[in-house]
Amino acid sequence: MYLPDFDYIAATSVAEASRLLASLGPEAKILAGGTDVLPMMKQETIAPKTLVSITRLDGLKAISLEEGRGVVIGALCTHNEVMKSSLLQEKYLSVCETAHRMANNQIRNIGTIGGNITNAVPSADFPPILIALGATVTLQSNSGSRSVLLEDFFTGPRQSVIRQDEILTEIVIPVNGFNGSTYHKFGLRRSGALAVVGVAVAVVMEGDLCKDVRIALGAVAPTPIRAREAEALLRGKEINDALLEEAGKLAAAASKPISDMRGSAEYRRDMVRVFTRRCLRKAIDQGHV
């Protein structure tokens, strides 16, 4: 498989990238790590005439703690940079663990967190944990900048609210008091496999009392989704095993999986039940400490 011919332009600023995307229209695409866009071009699934590379935009490569905002992750941070960030390890280890479970070392060295989100693939690993943690994304263009709650970003498989001239510049995990969080992924291999089911949980625990909880499911619906009925069952309650089992069942009922070569819908739904219970137990135990 060979890459078809295309024009390549390396943007030197977000403004230049936005201007190029606006003037060239839908036949131009952003290139970040290229781990998704280049295989799709080789497979002739997409045929952009121009790739606008944003890899030189050094301003999108930092991970920092910003007063009043939270942890801000630049869209061009690679999976390995997310995994090794000491700030994220201290504040949100679950995000680092998610990166660690993704792909293989070569892909983790070049694939970016921004590309993983804008791709909008239902099985992508970062969205569930970021949604559970209440993250927002910043979309920037020459007509302005807007902040979108990540759970409102996705509109369907490979579809999102991002406009042609917009660049996802950063992901913000707000200060929200979550003291336990985790992501469990089931793939067909231990590494390098896409999620057949992904479940993420974030909790605010006060002793045995669950003050707040968010459960996000990946790979079991056209977009990542929240299991809101399961959350409502747990919120404000003292947690016991029976409640966790019931929450697992409610999360399974909220999922809308398909059957494909990687698993039947029935199997996926049952895995949501099991993984939700396990994730809740792990996140709650962290919150107790």
Contacting residues toward ligand FAD, per CB under 6 A = 29-37, 39, 75, 102-103, 107, 111-112, 114-116, 118-119, 124-125, 167-168, 192, 194
The structure tokens listed for 160 are: 């999102």
CB of 215 to ligand FAD, least distance (A): 19
Nearer to ligand FAD, 114 or 248 (CB): 114
Nearer to ligand FAD, 49 or 211 (CB): 49
CB of 288 to ligand FAD, least distance (A): 30
Nearer to ligand FAD, 128 or 248 (CB): 128
CB of 284 to ligand FAD, least distance (A): 26
CB of 212 to ligand FAD, least distance (A): 26
Query: Token match 């019931």: residue?
Result: 246
Residues in contact with 286: Cβ distance below 8 Å, sequence separation at least 6, in sequence order = 179, 180, 181, 182
Q: How far is CA 59 from the centre of its chain?
A: 21
Strand partners, 200: 183, 216
Strand partners, 71: 65, 173
- The strand pair at 144-149 and 50-53 is best described as unpaired
Could you tell me how many residues make up the chain?
289
Among the listed residues 106, 109, 115, the one whose alpha carbon sits nearest the alpha carbon of residue 32: 115
Q: Which residue's CB atom is positioned nearest to ligand FAD?
A: 115
Nearer to ligand FAD, 114 or 180 (CB): 114
CB of 75 to ligand FAD, least distance (A): 4
